Structure 1
Amino acid sequence: MPDPIVSALSAPRWPDDVARRYRELGYWRGEELTAPVRHYAASHPDKPALIDSVGRLLTYAELDRTADQVASALQQWGLAPGDRFILQLPNLLELVCLLLGSVRAGIIPVMVLPTHREQEVIHLAKGSGAVACAIADRQASYDFRGLMRRVRDAVPGIGKVVVVGEPGEDDGVISYDRLMAMAGPPVDRPPVDAHAVALLLHSGGTGGLPKLIPRTHNDYDYNARASAEACGFDENTVYLAALSAAHNFPLACPGLLGTFSVGGTVVLAREPSPDSVFSLIEKHKVTVTAAVPTLVSLWLEAREFDETDISSLKLLQVGGAKLAESVARRIHEWPGVRVQQVFGMAEGLLNYTRAEDPIDIVETTQGRPLSPDDEIVIVDEEGQPVADGAVGELWTRGPYTIRSYLAGPEINARSFTPDGFYRTGDMVRRLPSGHLVVAGRSGDQINRGGEKFSAVEIENHLIDHPAVKEIAVLGVPDADLGQASLAFVHPVETPPSLRELKDFLRQRGVATYKLPDRLRIVDDIPLTRFGKIDRKRLALLADEPVPS
């Protein structure tokens, strides 16, 4: 019998008549995702394509050649078209080269954040059927080789690991340099099926752990290319990837891939501290970068004392969480810098404010849809359209929005309508101009500084804590993070401290950004008449002062 995962990855995701229309309109070009790098390697071979934080530089010709070498090396290593390959790397040259090379070889990268830990990585590895992974040896004080040992114990199918840095002595683990030494001459491959999956992104994890998002060559190429056009990118663009490139935002909104689509230059920041970001902007004359609101607030604070020359910066994209109007105004105080609000999702739909938008629209809305064929429906709890200007849940479909996750039928039935609309879970209202204003999230998802996760996931862990009788976790407004996580605990006897809860979650391998920021001890957890946690009543409790 065929592998069900491979079958799901190769299954068509848009009806034939819809796909034909997208091709006829020019949204889908039938090209492999890395084709722009090949194009500019031929037309502008000496143009800088990629620079990392320590100054290593690849021209378009060098990047194109290295991608071919990676493709060959991966095949010599034993990977085959259709194999899934986890990439869990910080913003290094090697990440981009492994991404482009694996796509060229028909190997499917699974994009995993450096902040993910064994719980998330094991889940994504099992769900994708991954057979190999790429990691750094260390990031700051964290040893990813130890993490991968624990992942491999849980997922025996991962037989191969490549490490950027010191590989250690585990079986099946090699260094990146050793991998590249395996490369032979470029291998002739049949033309890519642009309808096939090019890579797998991850969702924010509504209702549990992250879901796998299959993006095809056609739809993701359009995602990046149309974004570059909407954002005014051209061959003179110097884009700084300050956020992890495993995120959809810095990868293709327009991000790395959008910059490559116009022949611009990408600069990689290993970490997004103000010192690192400002010095890279000054050194490489960066014109565009992107950040989440919590990071922007940090940069704004640091900028009050920093004298680095960042006059080359013309556009600061802000997304991942809602940007406060007051923060947008502060950014516009930077000479020559324009704010662009970005609201979107790894599943597809992207909204941008535009250069021609009035300043009040830029500072108060989250943009309007990227594509003329982005279909938007805003509905109430019964799935019926709301009145113009009213708040409701956003449903969408279009030429770059997926029609199913790589997941079971029950998850897809909850997430997509029978006629292909994606139920985003975002609560929005639409202005007459078409711009969207985000009002929050439906359900239990928490968006902490742009990192999304499910309250239910954390509740399922903390209910096992010996001092916890009942538990509920809620996202609450936070000036710096957008949302912070607040844990309501009905204790067994002696209430646990916030530190004890965090240590408990860390011992279970939960990512740091999912740990509760605040703790509230309560006598009981309010429930709905259906026996579920009443999050509306919790939100009211969150606004009440803590008794002295």
Structure 2
Amino acid sequence: MRTREGTTPWPAEIVERYRTAGLWQGRTLGDAFAEAAHVHADRIALVDDAVSLTYAEVHDRVEACAARLIDRGLAPDDRVVVQLPNHWTFVVLTLACLRVGIVPVMALPAHREHELRHLVSASEAVALVTPDSLRGFDHLALARTLRASSPTVRDLIVLGDTTPQPDTVSLTALCAPSDEATRTRRLPTPDAADVAVFLLSGGTTGLPKLIARTHDDYLCNIVLTSPPSAVDRDTVYLVTLPMGHNFPLACPGILGTLLAGGTVVPLGSPRPERAFAAIERHGITHTAAVPAVVASWLDHAAVEGFDALRSLRVLQVGGARLADELAERVVRGFPGTLQQVFGMAEGLINVTRLDDPIEVVVGTQGRPVSSFDELRVVDETTGLEVAAGEPGVLLTRGPYTPRGYYDAPEANARSFTPDGFYITGDIVRQRPDGNLVVEGRSKDMINRGGENISAEEVENLVYGLASVRLAAAVAMPHGTLGETVCLFAVLHDGCELDLAAVRAHFDTSGVAAFKRPDHLVTVEELPLTKVGKIDKKALRERLADELTASERLSR
């Protein structure tokens, strides 16, 4: 299937409105980067350990990589699953794909066979891009397994130190400087309305859905998020979150920094020792983190101090709700300005502004980056808009919020209204000043350290254990991760089960480690609603009561 066949188009009159307003520029992301590379040719674009590349050098490698991909038989609109660590080759490869209309599918390094098999199948990928190994896991062996069972995957493009094998392609070689053959190669150019990249949903109903972002809407996303974050040619952006996430990729992130003429510094780990050293060494001005990482940085700084961070101008925090207490500690201690970011790969981005009062920065998750972002806050049961200032489910549509998931009509019927509003599942209050306060989730979702986990997916996996009769996964509050996965299980008569066995089952099922339950409660029965469904609200309330009682005992 061609990507346009699986996407939900914006209505023609809305397209015209966005183009007339200058929100959609009719430019591809590849064109936008080429223009930036021309203007900033001699400036440093990318620094990764011993690799330091100017804009001219990155552009040269992007063009060469694009030519080599085409010469290997890849074509515009082909999909490529990209599962890479934070590394300079991710930037070159992604820009090369955008240059010629090959569509990267942004997988995460933590994904395993369970998730990757789904992404390959859903996108009909023709290639997998992977490290040979990472943190002791053999990614190449898994890639070979996936290729052997896929009717579409042909190429394995591998990042690593090992000698390339006959059945693999070296990513480093693909990203090498141009030669005579690549310099004379004529390259195809996509249309601005074409799909540029597939991001992944944090969907509540099992495995992630594909979010098709076009060149028009994703460039709009980048352009709108850059000014509120003060990203410009002097920006030095540290990437510690996985580079395939929407937040560090384009809010404004990697792409926003490159389009502004700044410098991108990938780092393989957000551990405070490494992050603080990188910030000091490179004069980092901007970075993005999730609350769990911020908590670890605060603890580290309480011992080592904040001197290493003196160059930092903007610390963006998103991916999960930042507790007010943590926000206050950041404001008191960190150099620069805290910017809360509340958004989603499906589109809408809200940020606090750098000149907002402290009360707004600490106590809210910001407001939309565009006046063209439309918001509704509705009652979860009736679907009617709530009174001003009352909590309700957030619905949104706008110039960078797609109208549907890729090739997913059933999911679209659940997640989008007939008039094109995306049902976020977030419970929010909108203040009179327009800023949002996130109260929680209506969807059956667990946000563990910024990674969204479907409770249904966890439960489906648990039912693979012969001892389990009924299962319910819910979010359990956690001081640093925000939420963890708590599993309630009813066992068959005479059976036993412990957490180690559950986690071992997830490992053998080839599931990303962050989805493993962190807590197990075996019960005689599960509470039910009046219509006979498992009462997740009652289970969450039970956990909250137990945590409150535990806190009282510990005082």
Change (3 A) 1:186 1:311: farther
Partner of 1:499: 500
> 2:471 — aligned with what?
471
Maintained 8 Å contact 2:106/2:199: yes
Deviation at 1:18, TM superposition (A): 0.5
Counterpart in the other structure of 2:541: 540
Which stretch shifts more, 128-137 or 529-538? 529-538
| Structure 1 residue aligned with 2:23 | 27
Seen in structure 2, the aligned counterparts of structure 1 residues 190 and 143 have a Cα distance that, compared at 3 Å, is: closer
CA–CA distance in structure 1, aligned partners of residues 441 and 488 of structure 2: 19
Instruction: Map 1:244-283 to 2 at 5 A.
Output: 244-283=242-281
Deviations along 1:51-92, one digit per CA (max 9) or x if unpaired, are: 11x131111101111110110000011101110011100011
Q: TM-score, normalised by structure 2?
A: 0.94
Report the Cα distance in structure 2 between the residues aligned to 1:509 and 1:135, rounded to whole angstroms.
Answer: 16
Structure 1 residue 490, shift from structure 2 partner: 1.4
Give the direction of change, closer, same or farther, for the CA distance of 1:446–1:335 in structure 2 (3 Å limit).
closer
Offset of residue 541 of structure 1: 2.1
Q: Secondary structure at the match of 2:332?
A: coil
What SS does structure 2 have at the residue aligned with 1:139? Answer: coil
Q: Distance in 1 between matches of 2:448 and 2:135?
A: 22
Aligned with 1:184: secondary structure?
Answer: helix
The amino acid across from 1:116 in the alignment is H
- Quote the residue 1:138 is aligned against: 133
Over the aligned positions, Cα root-mean-square deviation in angstroms equals 1.8
Structure 1 residue ranges (4+ consecutive) displaced by more than 3 angstroms after TM superposition: 166-172, 177-183, 186-192, 544-548
1:159 and 1:172 in contact (8 A); partners too: no
Q: Shift in Å at residue 143 of structure 1? A: 1.5
The answer on 1:531 being equivalent to 2:527 is no
Correspondence for 1:48 among 44, 49, 63: 44
Q: Deviations over 1:261-303 (max 9, x none)?
A: 2111111111111111111101110001000001111111111
Relative to 1, partners in 2 of residues 1:45 and 1:179: Cα closer, same or farther, differing over 3 Å?
closer
Query: What SS is found at the alignment partner of 2:258?
Result: helix
Residue 152 (structure 1) aligns with = 147
Question: 1:459 matched to which residue of 2?
Answer: 459
> Structure 2 residue aligned with 1:6, among 3, 8, 16?
3
Distance 1:521 1:162, change over 3 A: same
8 Å Cα contact 1:77-1:179 kept in structure 2: no
> In the TM superposition, what is the alpha-carbon distance from 1:41 to its structure 2 partner?
2.1
Count of residue pairs the alignment pairs up:
543
Q: In the TM superposition, what are the counterparts of 1:125-274 in structure 2 within 5 Å?
A: 125-166=120-161, 172-180=167-175, 184-185=182-183, 187-189=185-187, 191-274=189-272
Residue matched to 2:348: 349
Indicate if the aligned counterparts of 1:84 and 1:108 stay in contact, CA closer than 8 A: yes
Cross-structure match for 2:68: 73
Q: What code does the residue aligned with 1:489 have?
A: A
Structure 1 residues 544, 520: CA separation in 2 closer, same or farther (over 3 Å shift)?
farther
Whole-Å Cα distance in 1 between the matches of residues 50 and 318 of structure 2?
A: 27
2:503 match: secondary structure: helix
- TM-superposed deviation, 1:136: 1.0
| Paired position in structure 2 for 1:119 | 114
Structure 2 residues not aligned, in runs of 5+: 551-555
Q: Quote the Cα distance in structure 2 between the aligned partners of 1:14 and 1:167.
A: 46
Q: Distance in 1 between matches of 2:123 and 2:506?
A: 25
Residues 198, 501 of structure 1: alpha-carbon distance in 2 compared, 3 angstrom cutoff: same
CA distance in 2, matches of 1:13, 1:334: 46
Q: Give the Cα separation in 1 of the matches to 2:516 and 2:172.
A: 36
Could you tell me which runs of 5 or more consecutive residues in structure 1 were left unpaired when the two chains were aligned: none
What secondary structure is seen at the aligned counterpart in 2 of 1:309?
helix
**Counterpart of 1:327?**
326
Which SS does the other structure have where 2:57 is aligned? helix
- 8 Å CA contact retained: 2:291, 2:481: yes
Give the Cα separation in 1 of the matches to 2:257 and 2:73: 32
Task: Give the Cα separation in 2 of the matches to 1:210 and 1:172.
Answer: 29
Q: 1:317 to 1:6 in 2, by over 3 A?
A: closer
Cα offsets for 1:210-244 (capped at 9, x unmatched): 00000000110010111111111111111111101
Match of 2:553?
A: none
Cα offset, 1:20, TM superposition:
0.8
1:144-190 alpha-carbon deviations (Å, 9 max, x no partner): 11221232233231110111115677663122244457962254345
- Letter aligned with residue 466 of structure 1: A
Q: Which amino acid in the other structure matches residue 320 of structure 1?
A: G
Q: Equivalents in 2 of 1:169, 1:41: separation in Å?
A: 31
| Structure 1 position 434 matched with structure 2 position 434 | yes
Cα distance in structure 2, aligned partners of 1:475 and 1:102:
37
Equivalent-residue separation in structure 2 for 1:409 and 1:497 (angstroms): 39
Distance 1:180 1:300, change over 3 A: closer
